[in-house]
Amino acid sequence: MGDWQFFALLMSNGILIGLMYSLIALGFVLVYKATDAINFAQGEFVMISGFVVAVALGAWGAPLWVAVAAGLAGMVGFGFGLERVMLRRLIGRPIIAVVMATIGLAAVLRGFGPLVWGADTKALALPIRDEPIVLGPLFIPPIQLLGATVSIVFLGAFGWFFLRSRKGIAMRAVADSQQVAMAMGINVERYFALAWAMTGVVSALGGIVWGNLLGVDVHLSLVGLKVFPVVILGGLDSIPGAIIGGLVIGVVENVAAGYIDPFVGGGTKDFAPYVVMILVLMFRPYGIFGKKIIERV
C-alpha cells in the first residue's frame, strides 16, 4: 500500500469515526442548549442503553426491533424520569448545581450497570457483515458506515428542530435565561424534560452503534470522555460545531495513530484529541462555532 493510499485509508476511517463521535456529542449539545449546563453523565447514558439492548438481544432472545425499541423507550423514559425526580428541583439554581448532579449521576450509573447486568463484556450483535467494504484503497467497516449514516440523519433532524421549529426556538430561549423564559410564558419544566428525553434517544442510538463496535461493559461509558474534546472544539451550543468537531477529532486521532504509533509503541489516539482540545481552549475557548459569552465549568 502506497503512502497516499495509507493516508486515504486513515482519513476515511477518521471521518466515519468522527461522525459517530458527533452523534454522542449531540447529547452534550442538547442538554447545554436547554439548560446551559454540561451533562457529565453522557457516556454513562450510552453505556446503560447499550446494556439494555445487549441484554434484550442476548439473555432475553428478543428480535432486533424489539431490543432497539426497548433501548429507545427505556432511555426516553429515563430522561423524563430523571428530569422529573432530580433535575426539576434545580430549575433557577446556579448552573454548578446541575453540573454536580450529573457528575454524581455518572458515578451512580457506572456502578448500577454492572451491578444489575454483570461486569462481563456483552456482545451487541447487529445483522450486518463483519467484512469491510472495499472501495479502491479504502476498507470501510459496515458498522462505521451505519453509524456515520445514523449520525448524519439525526444531526440534520435536530439541527432543523432547533433552527426551524417553535419548540426548538423555545428551548434555546430557556437556555438563554430560565427566569425570562418563564416570565414570557414558556413552560421551562416541559422543555427541560424534552431536552433530556432527546438526549436519551441520542444515547440509545450511540449505545447500539458503539456497543456493537466495542462490546458492552462499564468501559463503554468512556466514550463520553472521548467525545468531550469534540464539543469543546466545535462549541457546546452548536450542532454544526458537533459535526465539524467530530470530524476533526476523528481524523486527528486516526492519522496520529497511523503515523506516530509505530515510533512510540501505541496510545497516541488516546491523548491526541486532548492536545487539540487544550490548544483550542488556549486560542478560542468558546470553540469554533460557540458563542463568545458562554461560560466554562
Quick: pLDDT tens for 176-225: 777 777 787 888 778 888 888 889 999 999 999 999 988 899 999 989 88
Q: Does the pLDDT at position 26 exceed 50? A: yes
Q: Which residue has the higher pLDDT, 220 or 169?
A: 220
Of the chain, the percentage scoring pLDDT greater than 90 comes to 26
Q: What is the reported pLDDT for 280? A: 84
Q: Does the pLDDT at position 52 exceed 90? A: yes
What secondary structure does DSSP assign to the chain, as a single string? --HHHHHHHHHHHHHHHHHHHHHHHHHHHHHHHHHSS--TTHHHHHHHHHHHHHHHHHTS---HHHHHHHHHHHHHHHHHHHHHHTGGGGTTS-HHHHHHHHHHHHHHHHHHHHHHH-SS-B----SS-SSPEEETTEEE-HHHHHHHHHHHHHHHHHHHHHHHSHHHHHHHHHHH-HHHHHHTT--HHHHHHHHHHHHHHHHHHHHHHHHHHH-BSGGGGGHHHHHHHHHHHH-TT-HHHHHHHHHHHHHHHHHHHHHHHHHHTS-HHHHHHHHHHHHHHHH-TT-SSS-TT----
- Using a cut of 0.75, tell me whether the model's pTM lies above it: yes
Q: Does the pLDDT at position 293 exceed 60? A: no
Least confident of 45-54, 87-96, 205-214: 87-96
Least confident of 25-29, 38-42, 91-95, 122-126: 91-95
How sure is the predictor about 34, in pLDDT bands with cuts at 50, 70 and 90?
confident
